[in-house]
Amino acid sequence: MKKTNLIAVLALAATPAFLHAQTTSYSDVVGYSKYSLSAGQYIFSPTFVKTSLYTGSGTVSSKTLAVSGVTTSSLAPSSFTGSTPNYPRAYVEILSGSYAGVVFDITSVSTSSVTSADFPSDLNGQTVSFLIRQHVTLGDVFTPASGMAEYSDAITLFNSDGSTSIRYLAGGIVTTDDFETPAGHTPIYPGSGVILNIGGNVTLSLAGSVKSTIAKVPVYPGINNIVGTLDPSSGLMATSSTLATSLGAFTDSATLYSNNGAFSLQNFIYSDGESVTDDGFNAYNASNSPTIPSGAGLIVNVPSPSYIVLNSPVK
Amino acid sequence: MKSSNKQLFLVAILLISSFSRGWSAISITIAGVNSTSGQILDSKSQVVTSGFARVGKITGTIDLTKKDPTFANYQYWDSIFVDVNDPTTGTGTTLGGGGTTPSGWNFSGTGGLSSSSSGIASATYPLNTQLYIWAFKVSGKSLTANATAGSSSVFIPSLDTNDFTAGVEWALLTADEWKAPADLGTLSLTISQITALDTVQAPIFGSDLGNSITMIPEPSSGLLASLGLALVLFSRRRKQSTGDKELN
C-alpha cells in the first residue's frame, strides 16, 4: 500500500469538546489521503471520521439524550424495505467519564432527542459530554475509488456476532454478494476496517475529519477483529500505542500482516501487562517495534469482550 | 521461575491465547448473475433454472475423456472433487472445507448464481489453491442452504442413474484468477474471467460464449442432434438427385 498524498491538512481552531454549553463550537482537523494499492489482499481501515454534527452535554435518561439545533431525522437508522439491509446511520460518541471514546449507534430519534438501545445501564442518569457523527460507509470509501473491478474485487467485514458480510461493486454501487441489493450504507465503525481483495491497481481517496479525541474500539471473542489506527498522517509504532495496556496480558493477541498485497504474517503482538511483546513475550523496543501503516490495521483476537484504545493523532 | 517451568508457562499461555483466535477461514463468492459478470447457460445458451453449482478443488487427474455428463463420469469427478462446503470431519462423507452453503449456488428463476460460502478452512484451501465450479443442469436436485460453518452435515445432493436418464447437462470451469486467497480473504469466481487465454485448463467442460459459458449436453441428445442433422442432409441429397433425374 502506497500512501501518496496528504494534502491540505488544515488545523482549524479547535476548542475542547467537553465544554458544557450546548452551543459550543467545535472545529475538526480535516484532511485528505490517497492510498494506492496493487493487486492482492489488504486490511484497510479508514483514517478519517465525518464532521461532528452536534456537540453538547446532557443526562442519559432511558437511553436517550436531548439535543437541539440538529436535524435528527438524518440521524435515524435506515429504514429500507425488502431485502436491502438496514444499518445505523449515526452514532453518539461519549467524550467524558469511563465511556469516553466509545461510540453507540443511534437507534431512534425524536425531534429533540436521540436514543441508543446500546447505552449500557450504568450510563443511565449520568451527565456526559458527547458528540454526534454520521458513520463512514462502504459507499463513502469504495464508490469513488478508482480501479475497483465490479463483481470480482471483494470487501469483507467481520461482524461482532461472528457473521461475515461480503460486499462488491456492481452497476456502479456497493452491493451485497447477490450483486443487486444496495449495501453502500454499510458502516465502517471508527477504528475498524475491512479485508480487501483486489485483482489490479486500486486508488482509495479519503477525506474527512481527523479524530481529535481518543477512540475505544470494541473487540469481541471468537472473531477476527480488525483494528486500525485512525491516523491519516503516519504509521503507528506498537511501542508508541496503547496496546500494552489495551491487550489483556498474555491472553489477547494482535497480528500484523504485510500491506504490500501479499498479506503475509509479519508480527505477533502481545502484552505482558507493561510492554508490547512478541509471541515469546520478549518486549519490543523502539528499534524492533512493529509499525501499523496508515490505512492498515491489526487482526485482534481476545477471549472476552474489551476495547482497544486509540489515541488521537492530533498533538 | 526455572527455565523449564517458564517454558511450560509460556506454552500454556500461547495455547490459551490460540483458542481465543478467530476461525482461520476464507470466503468464496460465485459471480454469475448477468451478461456483465457472465452466466452459466445450458447447451442451448438458455438460462438454467433447475440445478446447482459446486465449488471446490480437484485432487486427481483432469481426464478430458470423461467430459460427457454420464453417471460413470460423474462418479469419477465426484471422487476427486473436494467441495468448499462439505464437512471437514466425519466418516462416510467427503471431507471438505466446512464452509456455509448459500442458496444462491442453486440456479434461480433468472438463471443466476451468486452469494458466498464463508468459514471455509484455509488449511484445506491454502493460498493459491486452484478452484473450480462444477455446475449442473438437473431437475429435482438442489443444495440445501446452511449458514453454519463447520457443520458435520452434507448439503450437496448426490446424483444417481435416474437423474442421468432424465437428462443432465454440466460444466466444469476454472480460470487463472480462481486461486484461493490468503487467510481471512474472499475470492470471487467471476464467470467472465474464464477465457481461452487462461493458462489453466479453462473451461474444462463447457463452451466459451463471450462472457458466459454454455454447458455440455447429455450425450444422448448430442447423438440425436447429430443423427437428425445427418437425416436432413441425406434427405436433401435424395431430393437433389431426384430433381436431377426429373430434369433429365
The tens digit of pLDDT for each residue in A240-252 reads 999 999 999 999 9
What value does the mean pLDDT take over residues A178-182? Answer: 97
- A247 within a domain of the structure (yes/no): yes
pTM beyond 0.90: the answer is no
Confidence check: pLDDT of A33 > 60: yes
CA distance to partner chain A, nearest, from residue B17 (Å): 5
Percentage of chain A exceeding pLDDT 90: 89
Confidence check: pLDDT of A24 > 50: no
C-alpha cell read off for B190? 467471476
Site from B131, B184, B189, B211 to mutate, A interface, most A CB atoms within 10 angstroms: B184
Chain B residues with beta carbon closer than 8 angstroms to that of A199: 177
Q: Find, among A91, A88, A18, the residue nearest to A53 by Cα.
A: A91
Q: pLDDT by residue (tens digit) across B194-213?
A: 987 677 776 688 888 889 99
Q: Residue B109 has what pLDDT? A: 86
Nearest by CB to A177, from B20, B116, B181: name it: B116
Query: Reduced to 3 DSSP states, what percent helix, strand and coil does chain B have, rounded to the nearest 5?
Result: 30, 25, 45
Percentage of chain B exceeding pLDDT 90: 62
What is the radius of gyration, based on Cα positions, of chain A?
19
Q: pLDDT by residue (tens digit) across A109-163?
A: 999 999 999 999 999 999 999 999 999 999 999 999 999 999 999 999 999 999 9
B31–A156 C-beta distance less than 8 A: no
Percentage of chain A exceeding pLDDT 70: 91
What value does the mean pLDDT take over residues A11-21? Answer: 33
C-alpha cell read off for A134? 454520521
Cβ neighbours of A184 (radius 10 Å): 17
Reported as half-sphere exposure (CB side, CA atoms, 13 A), residue B97 has a value of: 32
At residue A274, what are phi and psi to the nearest 5 degrees?
A: -125, -35
In whole angstroms, what is the distance from residue B214 CA to residue B70 CA?
17
Cβ neighbours of A74 (radius 10 Å): 11
Chain B residues with beta carbon closer than 8 angstroms to that of A225: 22
Confidence check: pLDDT of B228 > 70: no
- A127 within a domain of the structure (yes/no): no
- Indicate the average pLDDT of chain A: 91
CA distance to partner chain B, nearest, from residue A147 (Å): 16
In this prediction, residue B53 has a pLDDT band, given cuts at 50, 70 and 90, of very high
Task: Flag the least confident range among A2-16, A250-264, B36-50, B109-123.
Answer: A2-16
Range of the domain at A248: 214-310
Confidence check: pLDDT of B232 > 80: no
Q: Residue B118 has what pLDDT? A: 95
CB A236, CB A182: distance < 8 Å? no
Nearest by CB to B190, from A151, A178, A263: name it: A151
Choice between A28 and B136, residue whose per-residue pLDDT is larger:
B136
Of all helices (H) and strands (E), which one includes residue B5?
helix B3-19
What 8-state DSSP symbol labels residue B125? S
- Indicate the average pLDDT of chain B: 83
- A277 within a domain of the structure (yes/no): yes
- A270 within a domain of the structure (yes/no): yes
Cβ neighbours of A80 (radius 10 Å): 13
Percentage of chain B exceeding pLDDT 70: 75
| ipTM associated with this complex | 0.87
Q: Find, among B20, B46, B194, B198, the residue nearest to B107 by Cα.
A: B46
Q: What total of structural domains would you count in chain A?
A: 1
Q: Find, among B100, B78, B81, B86, the residue nearest to B29 by Cα.
A: B100
User: How far from chain centre, in Å, is Cα A122?
Assistant: 24
Q: Residue B23 has what pLDDT? A: 57
Confidence check: pLDDT of A311 > 50: yes
Chain A residues with beta carbon closer than 8 angstroms to that of B20: 221-222, 251-253, 301-303
Q: Residue B93 has what pLDDT? A: 52
What value does the mean pLDDT take over residues B129-141? Answer: 97
At residue A295, what are phi and psi to the nearest 5 degrees?
A: 90, -15
In whole angstroms, what is the distance from residue B152 CA to residue A169 CA?
33
User: Residues with Cβ < 8 Å from B199, sequence gap 6 or more?
Assistant: B176
- A161 within a domain of the structure (yes/no): no
- A278 within a domain of the structure (yes/no): yes
Q: Find, among B166, B171, B65, B83, the residue nearest to B131 by Cα.
A: B83
A1 exposure class (CB count in 10 Å sphere: 0-12, 13-18, 19+): buried
List residues of chain A with CB under 8 Å from any CB of chain B: 41, 150-156, 158, 163-164, 166, 168, 170, 177-180, 195, 197, 199, 221-225, 250-253, 257, 262-264, 270, 279-281, 299, 301-303
- A145 within a domain of the structure (yes/no): no
As a residue count, chain A comes to 315
* B17 contact A CB<8A: yes
